Structure 1
């Protein structure tokens, strides 16, 4: 059984010096570190769902992360208050839960490559083909044998695992510990506490759906789960706050993506209502109120775009409902969550499940839009070319020959990433080299990836 005294210990890889700080001040310091980090800033130009969109109204990963942070802070406050009243959370740690979630929410997407989740698929496909061509029975061209987990780190590439890598290693400050955040904040973004060999098996439960750490970060991962007491019977479990962050992420993007789609003309409010009516029960008072909110909003008849206001009112009502249902679901499943045996999403175990299903169907309409598809295809071409060019350069002995194409490409890779590769190398040489490529690619914004592609392909000078 997990306990909050261990779960909320503000331990770090590198202990602070000088005056002893409170847990709350440590968690607030995490937030400050993240806000001022380059990894967080780059989210301003990374796709949420509409790549390379010029409309400032449309959400980027940065705006999405800030919205998740706001929602998660509110959810955390509700849950913490309820647990304190029930005598299940230390009263002296008041405000800590919301603060950890507020900080962790800013991080949850920093490992995503350009062009959204489709970028992950492109990386997976590229390296699956690379290994098929270059390897002989899991042995690389340096003669080193790879484990299945090492291979899957690339063949099943996962942005969640890249996030842990970014904050624990790549966001360099003074040593190999990256941002040196507290363990509770770091654990709260590990949705899938599995290796790439153990994960990718959703039939075993939600925590097995994907994976949460690469072999290069196995050591810090093991230290985090051990220190916080989230390893039970020899198996890592989700930190309880993961469930709250996961629900907050869903609440933020499901509703906001619909709002953006209506603004872009991909959806009408009538279509949104039509789909929602398929799932919601008009006999249920709360669900009927949600249905009515799309049609009852009073908007000044002179306002140029009434649907925009209607969607904003609808979003606020929906978010409040789903936030409350998330907290209720956490309390209802509390014992199993603390035992590490709960393997569902909180919203799926709540009265908001019908609404979530409706939003999933609406989301499938949005991502099927031709403009979204065309931009994803463009992103496919861009990333495949960058992956090929930089992988060929990094593994080539010519990269050390001054003046060669390979050497020029190698020097285009962030000097920070090259420094970390050499200063804190992984034991497997080729693994280390290929990680340099994925680190560089995932650190790119959408526009930078496009610009670099145009330069390499001599499309734009």
Structure 2
């Protein structure tokens, strides 16, 4: 893979090539990507979607919105640091094509800003609930209507693939979704493969999938423009990652490792003294003991250590990327950047404690159980109604419940797969609060 192709400014529908040296510096194309994402309704909905604690009413806890903005900030720093080194190593990128180090930061920042845009309500349990509905629940009966890959899209419903759909899906009057640059779409796609075969290798890019069958053709167009390396022959679509996707992943890993941990401390799920010991192990060589000793509140002490920890991991992730750039460009680097960093043991200790004390806490577990029930009920009602309409068999009740779904999720279906995926994507679009409200309407009761 070549950087001058990977940094493509092309957008869906372009007829002419966009050259970096012809870009308006005050309104750079990669920065336009960021603006389009942040002004989108899908991004705004993240303000009421779970990061750690579903339906939390405290001011401490991060939402997907605040988490995404923080990941974007970290991603921008990572991209700029790497960009400086890449341009030093490949000066023709600047001398011939006009690229600047800020371009790398802008691409990673935009992709990182959007990295959770397709996540369902209730966090990752929302993904699992959608998948379980089709794999073992009422939705299993639809399997015979679908191809193997279409069915796998639903049984392993993936927020990353839904995100790609949101960013790129055309509808009447809106071609190409947000029309982001192909460089940003490439950096966004951490798993550049379709849903089958499932986990064919231990390569990090094969861990999940990055696009539904409905977006397969367009993803191949993006991959072709970026000249991503194809990793599988025959009828199965799979590519090596865009190199900057490793930086987007690292930014997310850094933020959820450190900031989810901080949330757990502020919520009282992790004892302060115990937690500070873990953070100090990560940043012990960087602590200004005089300054740290002057901090009087728990929040200030945690904030200081959190900032040091994030900066430490940013520098380390950038180092690993630069040292492995050649293998990354060949598609041969097979792990996350943090898995190769000097602080992997300390990071894993923090994650292990977070799993035990936060993600498996009673509050999280109770809300996730409620989330499963809500998602299962809504999918049952809406899938049945959508298919009834598709076959021209809808009842009055079907028409009533379908009024709750925006037309863009129900328009122009040409197959049973599109019906079922459209309903699933609608449920995935709902915020934590909104999904409870719709459940109450459909169920005729209250859940809080």
Q: Deviations over 1:344-376 (max 9, x none)?
A: 111111112122212211221211111111111
Residues 133 and 58 of structure 1, relative CA distance in 2, 3 Å threshold: closer
Distance, in Å, in 2 between the alignment partners of 1:225 and 1:371 is 42
Distance, in Å, in 2 between the alignment partners of 1:289 and 1:433 is 56
* Secondary structure in 1 matching 2:328: helix
TM-score by length of 1: 0.87
Shift of 1:194: 1.0
The aligned residue for residue 439 of structure 1 is 425
- The answer as to 2:144 corresponding to 1:139 is yes
The aligned residue for residue 222 of structure 2 is 224
TM-score by length of 2: 0.90
The aligned residue for residue 334 of structure 1 is 325
Shift of 1:460: 4.6
* Secondary structure in 2 matching 1:289: coil
Match of 1:298 among 285, 293, 298: 293
Contact 1:194 1:208 in 2 (8 A): yes
Distance, in Å, in 1 between the alignment partners of 2:2 and 2:17 is 28
Match of 1:111 among 114, 118, 133: 118
Which ranges of structure 1 fall in alignment gaps of 5 or more residues? 141-145, 281-285
The aligned residue for residue 436 of structure 2 is 450
- The answer as to 2:13 corresponding to 1:14 is yes
Contact 1:65 1:106 in 2 (8 A): yes
Q: Write the mapping of 1:270-419 to structure 2, written as runs, cut at 5 A.
A: 270-275=273-278, 280=281, 287-289=283-285, 297-299=292-294, 301=296, 306-365=297-356, 366-397=358-389, 404-419=396-411
Shift of 1:332: 1.2
After superposition, the CA RMSD in angstroms is 2.6
Shift of 1:450: 0.7
Distance, in Å, in 2 between the alignment partners of 1:438 and 1:134 is 15
Distance, in Å, in 2 between the alignment partners of 1:268 and 1:18 is 56
The number of residue pairs the alignment matches comes to 433
The aligned residue for residue 195 of structure 2 is 196
Contact 2:10 2:18 in 1 (8 A): no
Residues 399 and 260 of structure 1, relative CA distance in 2, 3 Å threshold: farther
Which ranges of structure 2 fall in alignment gaps of 5 or more residues? none
Contact 2:10 2:17 in 1 (8 A): no
Query: More deviation in 14-23 or 309-318?
Result: 14-23
- The answer as to 2:114 corresponding to 1:123 is no
Contact 1:113 1:119 in 2 (8 A): yes
Shift of 1:139: 3.1
Distance, in Å, in 2 between the alignment partners of 1:398 and 1:17 is 39
Distance, in Å, in 2 between the alignment partners of 1:373 and 1:23 is 50
Distance, in Å, in 1 between the alignment partners of 2:127 and 2:216 is 21
Shift of 1:17: 9.1
Shift of 1:392: 1.6
The aligned residue for residue 143 of structure 1 is none
